[in-house]
């Protein structure tokens, strides 16, 4: 049996890969993709904990279920927002959306 | 003294006059203001004379055993259970004497001013101020409490300020008034701190108890160790009080305001800056005489300051050309006389005669001086009115035009020079004999000063009334101006015959010394010598004065410039205090203290500008900071704080 | 058991590699595809863990829904062909630094923490799809009816939001 | 059973019903005129507010996922009140906006989300409520569709909040791993303060901190506030923030009680940073919305300072302050919204000489700002006093001193606005504006609130009687 | 007597003012209002004497107590002792003066008087408070009206001055606030009266919180080096505001220092005494020297206020009963004197449109009444007997001298010395402004004081004279 820690390392690695993408990607859509990666790593956590530690109840599983649903909704709204932004500034480069600062 | 309510009248009438004329004079009484003021003061004078008569005539057979009465005492301001300013009236020989002097001279000046100040725009104000001054001065002399004295002391100062600055549109008058006030104020600081020290040591402010507590043998603070510069605290208190007195009495080195104060109307000079206010210092020392005589150190301070002032002022007076300034320096010199007389007590060998002779002489001289000096000033006023100048060179040969003033002036000059039988002779004689017994060196100075006095007074006399050929007709002089001259001249001539030493002793032995013996000869001779030189130099116009001046060039120039003391003061105040303290203080306040406060604001703004980059407008940076925030918190609180 | 472990390692490597490529590749379309692979890999992981339902949901929602949505939006913003601009160097370095620190920190913490051991490691019976379905709509003990209702409201709101934002009428209609 | 659920969930249900009502109107096709709809909606919201005052029983439903008590009911009603005020103030802006029904639908959805969040007894419900409120809010902040800044704001908002909720979720997952439960009551017993749990807690706290704009998780705030339409900004700055503070206090005081020593220290640091940073940035702003954004960050710092007190008084003070903050901040935003909608001018310089033409608006602004600054006799004074007083309860006076001095800095920029309005002049000052009825009512509510909520001691007393300690 | 009347009355007047239409109505309503308030204060004084002779033992009279925030043990608790009565009387007197000199305010008259009255309400509230919370509440109430009064109706760099004043005072109240909280958590109550009777708190607590309270209140009272708001604030303010600021507002600080900081923490006060005395002495001496160099009349008076308020702090720092009495006396005396001074300066400024000493001159001839009150204010400032300043300063000196350690003695001597410097700058100002030749021929056409200005002058001068010539009743009132 694979120890729990291994799975957690995997999810953590995925988490930070996603975070790296979120920090460095300049296309807003790719940033969104990075967010999805992060959320997935969380899901792995939940499932792994549920499976390994607390299998008598399915709280982790349900939580990840809801996360998936919300992630989808969030993605949809985010894409709508990105498209709207694209219409306004003709760009999806996050660097060009820094009108407001300081 | 039963039934003494009228004593209060002496005080209240002048202040009533002040209030009346001050509030309504400008609008309503106008031309009558003088008459009102004079009338009120006249009543006051009568009361004062009556009080003095009752007091000195006494009801005991022994005229010398007089009591000290404290009347109408009431707490005015309480500083604590055992310390309070009690307002009260103190009647003892010297205060009884002083109220006579003050009211009489003041009355004379009031009357004189009726003519002299007629037509002045601020006629009412003038009389109001005179009323205020008279009130304050009377209050000063009648105080039963050292703080009460201080209160009236300050009031006297401010009346003096107001009267010197009476011609307020004259910048010189304004400057003189300011100078007078500030210099005396500075001296008063000493007085104040002196009061603080004395009252703290004695646990009282009342004169009687103050003297008692401090001089009682068992717990005399004089046995305490020195606190500062080798003197015990009470000595310092007394010296500081003396500084206050010296300031008001224009003693060296605080005399610089007095000559300038001559910018005031001449009758004011006669009243305040010759006869009454300036002797307040002497009076103060006399009031605390039992304390001032307790230690040698204090006595020496009094002695030497008095002597130096007397000599210095006399020397300067010889060179001055402004008639009023000459008189001012002469006043200073005479006050120096009175002062050092008060400082002789401790120098007497214990076996010798009553050591209070100096005290008596001083008071006596104060009394006589008031008359002849006021007379001199009033005469000067008459002269100045005539020639419209203060400078001696504009005068000369006035004996025909001003015959009355001429006679009076001469009497006063003789009196001040100490020529018998004029009043000055007697009083000066007592001082000189005190000096003789106390210290020969001082006696020499006194004697020399006496000669100088005769010289410069007669220099003045000759320059004004002789020197040039007498021309013109007798100047018509209003009666109100003549009467005071005559009265004062009588006083100046005959006041010396009052048996002063009998009157002045409180509860002690009558003075043994009363007769005038051989020791009166040298002063008279010296005085005559002085008169002779003055006559030789100034009786007629000649170049002798210039030659004499040239002979003593260095001394003459220094004296002419008042030994550069004014300049020294100016240097200290303008250059040092203004430039080195005031200006830096103002600068520091604006730039450093306030700068610090503003700097806080600027620094905040600068920090704000520096960190603005955090808010870069890029969402990824925000996320980065977000994560770094978490990581930082985690590291900090998991690994460092725990 | 070796086989199972091997599967896990392969899956892990697959997930990490595709995930890494998804966030670094310069072609946006490829990036989306790598994401697709990654998500599928995660679904595989769920299978490996025995969580069949969630694996299915993962495939349906993510692979079938979200990635498709993303690909559509890529087309909408007309950038399929172009290379993505490279990341800003300073930010890349700082990000790598932050991410590394974060990773190390998390791993250390995970390593140090000793998790308990499950009392009953078998969840086969109540992890069945039927059980999950019942539980999801149950209002009683361990039921998830309320969250279910809330998320329905959320989806409605998201729907409205998307409509408002995306269906923008032309200005002259006003 | 069902009755119990309906009564306990009545506030959520009413809002949802209104939401669906609006949805039906929208779907039905022929919309009435905007004015009519606005009046209708505001009447409905008022009814909602009034109904909210009816007390209900304390309850814990759905296996403890949802719980309610009188304080929570009050908190929800405070949010209702704020929403009503925002809605009244949005009148000018919405009248000209075509998608006004959608605006309200989204707004009410967020409100429901906040309700569920406050009532959450479980991290799942908390998360759902949070997302239910956040996702529509991001859309709302982009509601000025044609405006570049608005869409930029919504982009920043959704990316930031997605990232933040991802971190929050990571934290929740770790906590789940560490404790095996998601319910608050279960968590309490499992917390032992180990490093791992602390890490999970910090991640979760960051999610809260993000929503309440605590430094360093605040960076989105200013941009989003600035870009969003003014009513949305107002809503974000008070309702959203207030709701999160309510739940933050609850979770900290119940679920994370065992970690109290740790979170107090963390919050002290966050509070100081938040106050200082908010102030330092607010100092240099010329755009009023941005200034208010940073000022609201500072206010968060003060609320955090109150939470640190960890006492019954602290709990009460936070709720009380949020109430007052709603009045004060919405007063200020109301003026900004009105002027922005009618003239489009939003900078401090534009406000110069406002007093000459619009004394009423000027005084509303001034009093609101004084209340924000904590100047008596406005309610803000009492709010701040009690907050810091609660914060000082644990004896950290150095911290309280810093907080108090921060009030001085914040006074500076509030006074800058006052100075512009009352003392400065400009060649083209804002002319006389007409204030429609609904915003007028809103101003009246705000002013009354500012004057009454402080001086009348019973307001605080009532809240205190409902609140819980640690 | 119900003390709340003192707060309610100004608020009522404000309410009436809001409905006034014409400017003259506004003025008269305000004038009548503040006059009624003055009468009320006099009534309070007489009632206080009477009541006090009946039950002499109790410290506070006319107490009334009302629960305000019961959960936090906060009460609205008011009551007066002799000191508060004196301060109330002072406030009422200065307010009448302030309203009268503002007769010629031309712009936004209603707002001006409303703010002025609010300011006074704050001061009354402060002086009658027996609860720290209420006290702090009223302390802060007064900050914003000041800001607005200076910023809107002021002159010169008014916005800067207003901002500086508001921020520094706020900083002061922030420190006070911390101190108040510290006291609260020690005593679990804000009730001053109870705390007085319960005795002192532990020394460590006192040591920590005393600086907060003292410096906090001290800033209000121009404690060096936090006095810099004074010159700017006072100089830029409109006349009435200057009068109130210097006359009353600065006294809030002194009152707080004495009434709260020192009374609650006497042991700490004793420990910090050297520091306080040092700062106060620096303030006195350095303020006096800085005044000497000022050229603007208002700056002169403002800096002199720094110096004079130093006496309050000096008295507070010396801690002997006499010195404390002196501090109270100085508060009252300085309040009257500086109000009179600012009134006179304002009258001069209204006519000549300059406050620069070098441009003025010879005004005595042209406006004798104003000149007279100017001189009286000046003389009071330099401590002339017969005027209130003397009484106060001498009491402070007498009290200070009782601390016999040489450091305290030195401080006393230096402070005494400052009265010479005071004389210098007062006489310079008087000399240059009133005396000498008329500088500008235009001045010859100026008029003397009008009735309202005369009334102001007479009222305040009367106050100064009454205290100056008969101080015993006041000391008795204070010491009761």
What's residue B87's pLDDT? 86
* Inter-chain residue contact B633 with D269, CB threshold 8 Å: yes
Supply B131's token pair.
């009323």
Cα E200 versus chain centre, distance: 28
Q: What is the pLDDT of residues E135-173, one digit of tens each?
A: 999 999 988 899 999 999 988 888 899 999 999 999 999
* Inter-chain residue contact B628 with C98, CB threshold 8 Å: yes
User: Which single residue is written with the structure tokens 């109270």?
Assistant: E328
Question: Which range marks the domain in which residue A17 is found?
Answer: 4-99
CB pairs under 8 A between B and E: 132
Distance between CA D108 and CA D117 in Å, rounded? Answer: 14
In terms of Cα–Cα distance, which of A35, A4, A41, A1 is closest to A19?
A: A35
Supply E44's token pair.
């309070």
B512 versus E433: the higher-pLDDT residue is: E433
- C100/B contact by beta carbon, under 8 A: no
For residue B64, name the pLDDT band (cuts at 50, 70, 90).
very low
- B528/E contact by beta carbon, under 8 A: no
User: Which single residue is written with the structure tokens 């100096």?
Assistant: B358
Contact between B127 and B41 under an 8 Å Cβ cutoff? The reply is no
Q: Out of E289, E322, E368, whose CB is closest to B80?
A: E322
- CB-based burial label for B154 (10 Å; 0-12, 13-18, 19+): buried
Distance between CA D3 and CA C169 in Å, rounded? Answer: 44
Q: Which residues contact E291 (CB under 8 A, 6 or more apart)?
A: E299, E300, E303, E304, E306, E307, E421, E422, E425
Q: Out of C147, C151, C156, whose CB is closest to D65?
A: C147
* Inter-chain residue contact B631 with C109, CB threshold 8 Å: no
- pLDDT for residue B220 is more than 60: no
Supply A98's token pair.
């820094």
Instruction: Give the least confident one: B192-201, B366-375, B507-516.
Output: B507-516
Residue A72: CATH number of its domain: 1.10.287.3510
Q: In Å, what is the CA distance from B250 to each residue of B277, B279, E263?
A: 10, 9, 47
Per the DSSP assignment, residues forming a β-bridge with E69 are: E74
Contact between D416 and D351 under an 8 Å Cβ cutoff? The reply is no
Which chain B residues have a beta carbon less than 8 Å from that of C102?
Answer: 627, 630-631
What's residue D192's pLDDT? 87
What's residue D321's pLDDT? 95
Instruction: Give the least confident one: B358-372, E31-45, E337-351.
Output: B358-372
Long-range contacts of E302-305 (CB under 8 A, 24+ apart): E302/E230, E302/E231, E302/E232, E302/E233, E302/E234, E302/E235, E302/E246, E303/B589, E303/E230, E303/E231, E304/E338, E304/E381, E304/E422, E304/E425, E304/E426, E305/E222, E305/E230, E305/E234, E305/E246, E305/E250, E305/E334, E305/E338
What's residue C174's pLDDT? 35
In terms of Cα–Cα distance, which of B388, B451, B390 is closest to B419?
A: B451
- pLDDT for residue C173 is more than 50: no
C to E contact (≥3 Cβ pairs closer than 8 Å): no
Q: What is the pLDDT of residues D212-235, one digit of tens each?
A: 999 889 999 999 999 999 999 999
Distance between CA E173 and CA E156 in Å, rounded? Answer: 26
**Number of domains within chain D:** 1
* Inter-chain residue contact C113 with D178, CB threshold 8 Å: yes
* Inter-chain residue contact A45 with D146, CB threshold 8 Å: no
What's residue E36's pLDDT? 94
For residue B60, name the pLDDT band (cuts at 50, 70, 90).
very low
Instruction: Give the containing element (helix H, strand E) for E287.
Output: helix E266-292
Backbone angles phi, psi at E396, to 5 degrees: -60, -45
What's residue E29's pLDDT? 92
Q: What is the pLDDT of residues D60-103, one digit of tens each?
A: 888 888 988 899 999 999 999 999 999 999 998 988 888 889 99
Q: Out of B613, B619, B627, whose CB is closest to A94?
A: B619
Compare all CA atoms of chain A with the CA of C144 and give the residue at the minimum distance: A62
Q: From chain D, which residues contact A within 8 Å (Cβ)?
A: 123-124, 127-128, 131, 135, 138-139, 142, 145-149, 151-156, 158-159, 162-163, 166, 169-170, 172-174, 176-177, 180-182, 222-223, 226-227, 281, 284, 290
Which chain B residues have a beta carbon less than 8 Å from that of C98?
Answer: 624, 627-628, 631
Q: How far is D401 from chain B (nearest CA, A)?
A: 17
In terms of Cα–Cα distance, which of B13, B12, B29 is closest to B21?
A: B29
Q: State in Å, rounded, how far the first CA of chain A is from the last one.
A: 53
Q: What is the mean pLDDT of residues E245-250?
A: 90
Q: What is the pLDDT of residues B503-536, one digit of tens each?
A: 766 544 444 444 556 677 888 888 888 888 888 8
What's residue B62's pLDDT? 42
Q: What is the mean pLDDT of residues B475-503?
A: 81
Strand B69-78 and strand B84-91: the pairing is antiparallel
What does pLDDT average to over chain D?
Answer: 91
Strand D59-61 and strand D66-68: the pairing is antiparallel
Neighbours of A53 (CB within 10 A): 21
Q: In Å, what is the CA distance from B289 to each residue of B45, B204, B277, B525, D242?
A: 27, 17, 19, 32, 82
Distance between CA E107 and CA E153 in Å, rounded? Answer: 8
- C101/A contact by beta carbon, under 8 A: no
Supply D66's token pair.
């949802």
Compare all CA atoms of chain A with the CA of D177 and give the residue at the minimum distance: A49
Q: Which residues contact D46 (CB under 8 A, 6 or more apart)?
A: D84
* Inter-chain residue contact A80 with C79, CB threshold 8 Å: no
Distance between CA D296 and CA A102 in Å, rounded? Answer: 16
- pLDDT for residue B351 is more than 60: no
For residue C122, name the pLDDT band (cuts at 50, 70, 90).
low
Backbone angles phi, psi at D182, to 5 degrees: -115, -15
Q: What is the mean pLDDT of residues E374-389?
A: 90
* Inter-chain residue contact B624 with C105, CB threshold 8 Å: no
Distance between CA D378 and CA D453 in Å, rounded? Answer: 8
What's residue E133's pLDDT? 92
Which of D196, D198, D199, D216 should be substituted to probe chain C, the one whose Cβ sees the most C Cβ atoms within 10 Å?
A: D196
| Length of chain A in terms of residues written | 102
- pLDDT for residue B441 is more than 50: yes
Neighbours of C133 (CB within 10 A): 11
B289 versus D441: the higher-pLDDT residue is: D441
Task: Produce one character per residue of D68-102: b if its CB has 16 or more CB atoms within 10 Å, e if not.
Answer: bbebbbbbbbbbbbbbbbbbbbbbbbbbebebbbb
Q: Which chains lie within 8 Å of chain E at 3 or more CB pairs, if any?
A: B, D
Q: Which chains lie within 8 Å of chain B at 3 or more CB pairs, if any?
A: A, C, D, E
| Length of chain B in terms of residues written | 642
In terms of Cα–Cα distance, which of D238, D205, D204 is closest to D221?
A: D238
Q: How far is A32 from chain B (nearest CA, A)?
A: 12
Neighbours of C97 (CB within 10 A): 12
In terms of Cα–Cα distance, which of D249, D239, D348, D248 is closest to D289?
A: D348
Residue B448, SS3 per DSSP: helix
* Inter-chain residue contact A81 with D155, CB threshold 8 Å: yes
For residue B58, name the pLDDT band (cuts at 50, 70, 90).
low
What does pLDDT average to over chain B?
Answer: 83
* Inter-chain residue contact A102 with B624, CB threshold 8 Å: no
What's residue A43's pLDDT? 94
- A54/D contact by beta carbon, under 8 A: yes
For residue D407, name the pLDDT band (cuts at 50, 70, 90).
very high
Contact between E223 and E306 under an 8 Å Cβ cutoff? The reply is no
Distance between CA D243 and CA D130 in Å, rounded? Answer: 10
User: Dihedral of the CA atoms D40, D42, D47, D51 (nearest 10)?
Assistant: 140
What's residue E57's pLDDT? 62
- pLDDT for residue C77 is more than 90: no
Compare all CA atoms of chain C with the CA of A37 and give the residue at the minimum distance: C19
For residue B61, name the pLDDT band (cuts at 50, 70, 90).
very low
What's residue B512's pLDDT? 47
Q: What is the mean pLDDT of residues B478-495?
A: 86
Q: Report the complex ipTM.
A: 0.93
Please check whether the domain covering C3-82+122-168 is classified as CATH 2.70.98.10: no
* Inter-chain residue contact A99 with B618, CB threshold 8 Å: no
Distance between CA B359 and CA B344 in Å, rounded? Answer: 8
Which chain C residues have a beta carbon less than 8 Å from that of D129?
Answer: 150
Residue B511, SS3 per DSSP: coil
**Number of domains within chain A:** 1
Within 13 A of C17's CA, how many CA atoms are on the CB side?
Answer: 6
Distance between CA E35 and CA E41 in Å, rounded? Answer: 10
What's residue C121's pLDDT? 57
What's residue C118's pLDDT? 67
Distance between CA D249 and CA D44 in Å, rounded? Answer: 30
Contact between E179 and E257 under an 8 Å Cβ cutoff? The reply is no
Q: From chain A, which residues contact B within 8 Å (Cβ)?
A: 19, 22-24, 31, 94-95, 97-102
Q: What is the mean pLDDT of residues B144-164?
A: 90
Residue D470, SS3 per DSSP: coil
Q: State in Å, rounded, how far the first CA of chain E is from the last one.
A: 19
Q: What share of chain D is helix, strand, coil (3-state, %, to 5)?
A: 80, 0, 20
Neighbours of C75 (CB within 10 A): 11
Q: From chain E, which residues contact D within 8 Å (Cβ)?
A: 67-72, 74, 133, 136-138, 140-141, 143-144, 147-148, 151-152, 158-159, 162-163, 166-167, 170-171, 174-175, 177-178, 181-182, 184-185, 208-209, 212
Distance between CA B642 and CA B635 in Å, rounded? Answer: 10
Question: Which range marks the domain in which residue D212 is found?
Answer: 2-466
What's residue B468's pLDDT? 77
User: Dihedral of the CA atoms E283, E289, E295, E296 (nearest 10)?
Assistant: 20
Going D365 to D371 to D375 to D378, the CA torsion angle's sign is positive
Largest CA distance in chain E: 69
For residue B540, name the pLDDT band (cuts at 50, 70, 90).
confident
Q: How far is D222 from chain E (nearest CA, A)?
A: 25
Residue C167, SS3 per DSSP: coil
Instruction: Give the containing element (helix H, strand E) for D272.
Output: helix D260-283
Q: Which of B113-122, B323-332, D12-21 has the highest mean pLDDT?
A: D12-21
What's residue E272's pLDDT? 93
Looking at residue B588, the DSSP 8-state letter turns out to be I
Residue D59, SS3 per DSSP: strand
* Inter-chain residue contact B615 with A101, CB threshold 8 Å: yes
Q: What is the pLDDT of residues D281-328, one digit of tens each?
A: 999 899 999 999 999 999 999 999 999 988 999 999 999 999 999 999
Per the DSSP assignment, residues forming a β-bridge with B460 are: none
Per the DSSP assignment, residues forming a β-bridge with B228 are: B231
Contact between B154 and E390 under an 8 Å Cβ cutoff? The reply is yes
Instruction: Give the least confident one: B52-61, C27-36, E119-128.
Output: B52-61
In terms of Cα–Cα distance, which of D378, D369, D387, D376 is closest to D320?
A: D387
């Amino acid at each position: 049996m694979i120890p729990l820690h291994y799975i957690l390392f995997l999810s953590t690695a995925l988490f930070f890969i996603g975070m790296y993408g979120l920090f460095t990607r300049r296309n807003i859509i790719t940033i969104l993709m990075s967010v999805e990666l992060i959320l997935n790593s969380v899901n792995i956590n939940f499932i792994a904990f549920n499976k390994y530690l607390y299998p008598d109840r399915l709280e982790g599983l349900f939580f990840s279920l809801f996360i998936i649903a919300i992630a989808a909704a969030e993605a949809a709204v985010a894409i709508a927002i990105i498209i709207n932004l694209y219409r306004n500034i003709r760009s999806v480069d996050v660097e060009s959306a820094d009108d407001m600062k300081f | 003294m039963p039934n003494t309510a009228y004593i209060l009248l002496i005080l209240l009438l002048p202040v009533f006059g002040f209030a009346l004329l001050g509030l309504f004079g400008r609008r309503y009484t106008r031309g009558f203001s003088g008459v009102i003021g004079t009338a009120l003061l006249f009543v006051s004078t009568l009361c004062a004379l009556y009080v003095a008569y009752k007091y000195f005539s006494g009801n005991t057979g022994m005229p010398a055993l007089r009591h000290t009465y404290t009347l109408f005492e009431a707490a005015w301001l309480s500083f604590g259970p055992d310390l309070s300013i009690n307002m009260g009236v103190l009647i003892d020989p010297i205060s009884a004497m002083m109220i006579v002097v003050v009211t009489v001279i003041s009355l004379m000046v009031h009357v004189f001013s009726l003519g002299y100040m007629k037509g002045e725009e601020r006629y009412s104000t003038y009389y109001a101020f005179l009323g205020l001054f008279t009130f304050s001065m009377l209050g000063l002399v009648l105080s039963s409490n050292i703080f009460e004295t201080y209160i009236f002391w300050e009031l006297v100062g401010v009346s003096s300020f107001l009267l010197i600055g009476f011609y307020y549109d004259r910048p010189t008058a304004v400057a003189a008034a300011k100078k007078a006030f500030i210099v005396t104020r500075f001296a008063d600081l000493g007085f104040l701190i002196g009061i603080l020290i004395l009252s703290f040591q004695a646990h009282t402010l009342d004169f009687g108890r103050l003297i008692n507590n401090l001089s009682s043998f068992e717990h005399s603070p004089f046995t305490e160790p020195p606190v500062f510069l080798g003197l015990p605290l009470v000595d310092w208190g007394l010296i500081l009080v003396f500084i206050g007195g010296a300031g008001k009495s224009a003693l060296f080195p605080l005399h610089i305001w007095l000559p300038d104060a001559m910018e005031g109307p001449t009758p004011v000079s006669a009243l305040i800056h010759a006869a009454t206010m300036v002797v307040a210092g002497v009076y103060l020392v006399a009031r605390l005489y039992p304390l001032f005589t307790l230690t040698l150190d204090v006595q020496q301070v009094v002695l030497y300051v008095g002597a130096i002032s007397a000599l210095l002022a006399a020397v300067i007076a010889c060179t001055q050309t402004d008639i009023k300034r000459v008189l001012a320096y002469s006043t200073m010199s005479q006050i120096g006389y009175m002062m050092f007389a008060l400082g002789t007590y401790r120098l007497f060998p214990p076996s010798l005669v009553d050591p209070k002779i100096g005290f008596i002489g001083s008071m006596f001289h104060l009394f006589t001086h008031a008359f002849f000096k006021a007379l001199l000033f009033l005469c000067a006023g008459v002269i100045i009115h005539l020639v419209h100048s203060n400078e001696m060179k504009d005068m000369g040969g006035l004996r025909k035009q001003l015959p009355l003033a001429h006679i009076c002036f001469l009497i006063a000059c003789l009196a001040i020079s100490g020529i018998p039988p004029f009043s000055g002779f007697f009083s000066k004689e007592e001082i000189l004999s005190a000096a003789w017994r106390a210290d020969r060196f001082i006696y020499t100075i006194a004697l020399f000063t006496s000669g100088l006095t005769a010289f410069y007074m007669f220099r003045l006399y000759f320059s004004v009334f002789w020197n040039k050929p007498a021309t013109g007709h007798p100047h018509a002089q209003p009666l109100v101006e003549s009467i005071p001259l005559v009265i004062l001249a009588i006083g100046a001539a005959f006041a010396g015959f009052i048996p002063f030493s009998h009157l002045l002793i409180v509860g002690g032995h009558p003075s043994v010394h009363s007769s005038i013996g051989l020791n009166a000869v040298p002063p008279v001779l010296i005085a005559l010598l002085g008169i002779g030189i003055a006559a030789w130099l100034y009786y007629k116009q000649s170049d002798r004065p210039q030659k004499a001046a040239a002979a003593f060039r260095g001394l003459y120039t220094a004296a002419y410039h008042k030994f550069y003391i004014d300049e020294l003061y100016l240097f200290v105040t303008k250059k040092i205090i203004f430039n080195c303290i005031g200006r830096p203080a103002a600068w520091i306040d604006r730039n450093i203290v306030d700068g610090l406060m503003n700097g806080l604001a600027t620094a905040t703004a600068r920090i704000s500008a520096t960190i603005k980059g955090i808010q870069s407008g890029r969402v990824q940076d925000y996320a980065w900071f977000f994560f770094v925030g978490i990581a930082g918190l985690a590291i900090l609180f998991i690994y460092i704080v725990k | 058991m070796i086989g199972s472990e091997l599967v896990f390692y392969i899956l892990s490597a697959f997930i990490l590699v595709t995930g890494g490529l998804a966030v670094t590749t310069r072609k946006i379309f490829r990036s989306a595809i790598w994401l697709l692979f990654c998500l599928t890999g995660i679904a595989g992981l769920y299978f490996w863990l025995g969580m069949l339902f969630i694996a299915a949901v993962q495939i349906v929602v993510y692979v079938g829904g979200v990635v498709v949505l993303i690909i559509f939006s890529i087309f909408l913003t007309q950038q399929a062909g172009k290379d993505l601009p490279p990341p800003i160097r300073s930010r890349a370095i700082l990000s790598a630094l932050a991410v590394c620190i974060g990773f190390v920190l998390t791993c250390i913490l995970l390593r140090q923490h000793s998790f308990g051991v499950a009392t009953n490691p078998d969840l086969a019976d109540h992890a069945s799809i039927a059980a999950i379905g019942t539980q999801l709509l149950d209002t009683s003990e361990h039921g998830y009816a309320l969250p279910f209702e809330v998320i329905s409201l959320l989806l409605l709101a998201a729907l409205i939001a998307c409509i408002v934002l995306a269906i923008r009428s032309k200005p002259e209609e006003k | 059973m069902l009755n119990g659920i309906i009564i306990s969930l009545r506030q959520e249900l009413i809002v949802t019903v209104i939401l669906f009502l609006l949805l039906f109107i929208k779907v039905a096709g022929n919309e009435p005129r905007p004015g009519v709809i606005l009046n209708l909606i505001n009447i409905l919201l008022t009814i909602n507010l009034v109904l909210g005052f009816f007390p209900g029983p304390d309850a814990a439903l759905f296996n403890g996922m949802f719980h309610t008590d009188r304080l929570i009911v009050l908190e929800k009603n405070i949010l209702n009140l704020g929403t009503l005020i925002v809605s009244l103030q949005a009148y000018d802006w919405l009248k000209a906006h075509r998608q006004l029904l959608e605006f309200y639908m989204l707004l009410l959805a967020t409100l429901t989300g906040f309700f569920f969040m406050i009532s959450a007894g479980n991290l799942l419900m908390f998360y759902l409520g949070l997302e239910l409120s956040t996702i529509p809010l991001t859309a709302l902040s982009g509601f000025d569709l044609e405006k570049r800044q608005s869409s930029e704001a919504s982009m920043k908002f959704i990316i930031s909040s997605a990232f933040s909720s991802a971190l929050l979720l990571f934290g929740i997952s770790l906590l789940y791993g560490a404790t095996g439960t998601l319910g608050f009551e279960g968590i309490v017993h499992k917390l032992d303060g180990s490093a791992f749990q602390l890490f999970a807690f910090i991640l979760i706290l960051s999610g809260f901190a993000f929503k309440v704009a605590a430094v360093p998780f605040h960076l989105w705030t200013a941009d989003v506030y600035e870009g969003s339409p003014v009513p949305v900004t107002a809503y974000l700055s008070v309702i959203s923030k207030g709701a999160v503070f309510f739940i933050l206090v609850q979770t900290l005081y119940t679920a994370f009680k065992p970690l109290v020593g740790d979170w107090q220290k963390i919050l002290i640091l966050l509070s100081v940073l938040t106050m200082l940073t908010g102030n330092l940035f607010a100092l240099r702003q010329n755009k009023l919305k941005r200034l208010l954004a940073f000022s609201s960050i500072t206010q968060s710092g003060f609320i955090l300072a109150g939470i640190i007190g960890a006492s019954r008084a602290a709990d009460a003070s936070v709720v009380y302050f949020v109430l007052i903050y709603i009045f004060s901040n919405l007063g200020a935003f109301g003026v900004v919204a009105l002027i922005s909608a009618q003239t489009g001018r939003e900078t401090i310089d534009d406000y110069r000489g406002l007093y000459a033409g619009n004394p009423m608006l000027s005084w509303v602004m001034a009093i609101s700002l004084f209340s924000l600054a904590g100047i008596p006799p406005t309610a803000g004074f009492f709010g701040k006093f009690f907050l810091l007083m609660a914060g000082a309860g644990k004896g950290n006076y150095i911290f309280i001193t810093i907080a108090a001095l921060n009030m001085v800095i914040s006074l500076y920029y509030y006074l800058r606005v006052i100075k512009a309005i009352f003392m400065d002049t400009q060649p083209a000052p804002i002319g006389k504006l007409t204030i429609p009825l609904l915003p007028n009512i809103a101003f009246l509510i705000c002013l009354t609130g500012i004057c009454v909520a402080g001086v009348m001691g019973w307001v605080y007393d009532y809240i205190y009687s409902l609140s819980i300690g640690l | 007597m119900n003390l709340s009347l003192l707060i309610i009355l100004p608020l009522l007047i404000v309410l009436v003012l809001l409905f006034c239409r014409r400017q003259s109505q506004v003025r008269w309503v305000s004038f009548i209002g503040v006059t009624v308030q003055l009468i009320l204060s006099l009534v309070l004084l007489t009632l206080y004497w009477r009541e006090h002779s009946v039950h002499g033992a109790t410290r506070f009279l006319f107490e009334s107590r009302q629960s305000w925030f019961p959960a936090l043990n906060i009460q609205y608790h008011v009551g007066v002792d002799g000191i508060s009565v004196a301060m109330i009387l002072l406030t009422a007197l200065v307010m009448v003066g302030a309203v009268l000199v503002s007769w010629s305010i031309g712009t936004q008259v209603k707002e001006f008087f409303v703010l002025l009255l609010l300011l006074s309400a704050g001061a009354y509230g402060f002086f009658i408070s027996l609860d720290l919370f209420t006290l702090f509440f009223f302390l802060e109430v007064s900050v914003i009206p000041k800001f607005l009064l200076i910023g809107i109706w002021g002159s010169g760099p008014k916005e800067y001055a207003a901002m500086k004043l508001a921020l520094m005072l706020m900083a002061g109240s922030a420190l006070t606030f911390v101190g108040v909280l510290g006291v609260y958590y020690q005593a679990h109550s804000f009730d001053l009266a109870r705390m007085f009777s319960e005795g002192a708190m532990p020394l460590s607590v006192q040591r920590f919180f005393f600086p907060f309270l003292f410096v906090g209140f001290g800033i209000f009272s121009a404690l060096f080096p936090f006095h810099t708001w004074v010159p700017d604030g006072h100089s830029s303010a409109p006349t009435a505001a200057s009068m109130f600021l210097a006359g009353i507002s600065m006294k809030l600080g002194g009152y707080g220092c004495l009434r709260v900081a020192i009374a609650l923490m006497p042991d700490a006060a004793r420990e910090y005494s050297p520091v306080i005395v040092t700062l106060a002495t620096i303030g006195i001496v350095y303020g006096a020297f800085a005044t000497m160099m000022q050229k603007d009349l208002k700056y002169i008076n403002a800096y002199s206020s720094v110096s004079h308020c130093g006496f309050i702090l000096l008295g507070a720092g010396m801690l002997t009963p006499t010195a404390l009495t002196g501090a109270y006396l100085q508060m009252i005396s300085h309040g009257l004197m500086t109000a009179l001074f600012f009134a006179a300066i304002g009258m001069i400024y209204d006519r000549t449109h300059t406050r620069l000493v070098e441009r003025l001159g010879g005004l005595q001839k042209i406006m004798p009444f104003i000149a007279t009150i100017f001189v009286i204010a000046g003389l009071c400032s330099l401590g002339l007997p017969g005027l209130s300043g003397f009484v106060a300063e001498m009491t402070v000196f007498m009290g200070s001298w009782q601390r016999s350690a040489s450091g305290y003695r030195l401080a006393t001597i230096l402070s005494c010395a400052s009265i010479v410097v005071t004389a210098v700058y007062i006489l310079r100002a008087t000399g240059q402004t009133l005396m000498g030749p008329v500088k500008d021929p235009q001045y010859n056409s100026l008029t003397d004081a009008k009735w309202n200005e005369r009334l102001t002058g007479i009222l305040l001068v009367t106050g100064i004279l009454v205290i100056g010539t008969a101080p015993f009743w006041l000391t008795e009132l204070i010491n009761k």
